Structure 1
Amino acid sequence: MAELQLLKPDLSMLDSYRDALERGWSPDNLMGAAAAKRELARIAEDPAAFVASLDDPEGKGAPIRLPDGSEVPKLPGFRRWLWDGAFAGSFGFRWRPGTSDLPDHVPGHIGYSIPSWKAGRGYATKGLALLLPMCRAVGLAYVELTTEMDSIPSQQVILNNGGVLVGPYQKAAALHGGEALKFRIDL
C-alpha cells in the first residue's frame, strides 16, 4: 500500500481533487453527481475560497441545503483529503460543541468517499483510522457513522476501526428517509 496521509486540503492539491470530480467521483453519497457539479462550479468561481471552506471548525459557513431543499445551520466541521501522492479520498467530520449527540438531520459524525479507481486497497480503513485521533481532539466521547443496509464494504471499514453496530437507523425525511445501519466508535 502506498504511504497514505490524511491532509488538510490546500491549493497545491486542488488539481488532483478536481480531476477526481471530473472523472465522475463525488464527495457526497447522498447528492452524487449534483454535488460533484456544485463543487466544480465553486472551484471554478474561486479556488482559494473553495479550499478555505473545507475547514470550518467553528461552523461559521453558509447554511447547508439538504436533499429535500430545506436549509439548516452549518455544524462545526472539516474535510481532510486522503493522499497517496495524488487525491485518494475525502473524509468529512462534523460535530456539535460540548456533546457527542447530533441533530436529527445529521446521519453521523463522519462521511467518507474513495474514488472507484482507488477502491479495494484498504484506503477507506486507513483513512478512517487517521481521522479518529482528529475526532478525539475535539473532545467527543464517541463518533457515529451510518451505512446503507447492503453496504458491506463500508460496514467492514467501520468494524475494522473498532466500530460497534448500534442497530437499524431511520434516516430523516429531509434525507429521503429509509433505513440504514448506525455504528458507534468509542474514542
Structure 2
Amino acid sequence: MSGVAPVDGELCLVWPARAYLPGYMAALAQGWSPNNVPGSSTGDTLGQIEHDPDAYLARMVDRAALGPAITLPDGSVVARLPGYRMWLWDGEFCGVMDFRWQPGTASLPAHVLGHVGYAVIPAKRGKGYATRGLRLFLRELACEGLPYVELTTDPDNIASQKVITRNGGVLLERFRKPAQYGEAEGLRYRIALPSGLGVAGQ
C-alpha cells in the first residue's frame, strides 16, 4: 500500500510520519481522540509520543500485531489484532482511518466492533472529509484480500450512517454490543471490497 503524495488543500491519506506529527499532537492536546470509544484518554498518548516519537509512529503500522495488548472500555485486556492507521491530510492534519483484521478470514472476534474506524478532528468536520476519507481508505484496503469490511455505529449517529452508506455500506443488523462496551445497541454495516484496487506494499 502506498498512500498518495500530499498536495496542500487536497484531501489524501498519508502514512503516519514525523512531518505530520505536530498537527496530530495539537489535536490530541485540544482533547480530540482518534478512538471513538467512551473513556478513551489522550494524555497517555501524548506522553508516549513525547517519550519516543519514532516508536509511536512505528506502532501505527502493525501488521504482525507486535504492539501491546488492548484495554477495552470495561478495563478488560485482549490481544491486539494486526492493523494499521493512516492519517487524513489536506495540508493540515484532519483525522484518522483505522483497519484491523484476522489473517485468513473476514471474521472478527466478538469484542472487535468492525474492521474499519475513522475520526475527523472538529475543525475539519462539515467538509465531507469522513465520506471522502473512507472512500480513499477502501481503495487502499482492496489489496488486503478480504471480500468485505464491516463497520459499526450507533443508531443515533446519523452522520456516521451517511458516511457508510455513501460508500456502499449495507445495513446487516441491529445488535447489542458485547458486555465490554456496556451492551448498548449498535448498527452493523458491510461494504464489499472490489478486487484490483490499491497497490500492494507500503
Instruction: Give the shorter-chain TM-score range.
Output: over 0.9
Report the counterpart of residue 139 of structure 2 in structure 1.
133
Regions of 4+ moved over 3 Å: none
Q: Which residue of 2 aligns with 1:103?
A: 109
Q: Please state how far the C-alpha of 1:31 moved relative to its aligned partner.
A: 3.9
Paired residue secondary structure (1:35): coil
Partner residue in 2 for 1:9: 16
Query: C-alpha displacement at 1:186, in angstroms?
Result: 0.6
Question: How many angstroms apart in 1 are the aligned matches of 2:183 and 2:94?
Answer: 30
What's 1:87 paired with? 93
Q: TM-score, normalised by structure 2?
A: 0.89
Task: Return the offset for 1:73.
Answer: 1.0
Aligned residue in 1 for 2:31: 24
List gaps (5 residues or longer) in structure 1. none
Give, in angstroms, the shift of residue 176 of structure 1: 2.1
For 2:51 and 2:166, locate their aligned partners in 1 and report how far apart those are by CA, in whole Å. Answer: 39
Matches within 5 A, 1:60-75: 60-75=66-81
Alpha-carbon distance in 1 for matches of 2:112, 2:138? 18
Q: 1:77 aligns with which of 72, 83, 87?
A: 83
What's the counterpart of residue 184 of structure 1? 190
Tell me the matched-pair count: 186
Which structure 2 residue ranges, 5 or more long, are not aligned? 1-7, 194-202
Q: Residue 45 of structure 1 corresponds to which residue in structure 2?
A: 51
Partner amino acid, structure 2, of 1:4: L
Indicate the residue corresponding to 1:122 in structure 2.
128
Same amino acid, percent of matched pairs: 48
Q: CA RMSD in A?
A: 1.3
TM-score, length-normalised on structure 1?
Answer: 0.96
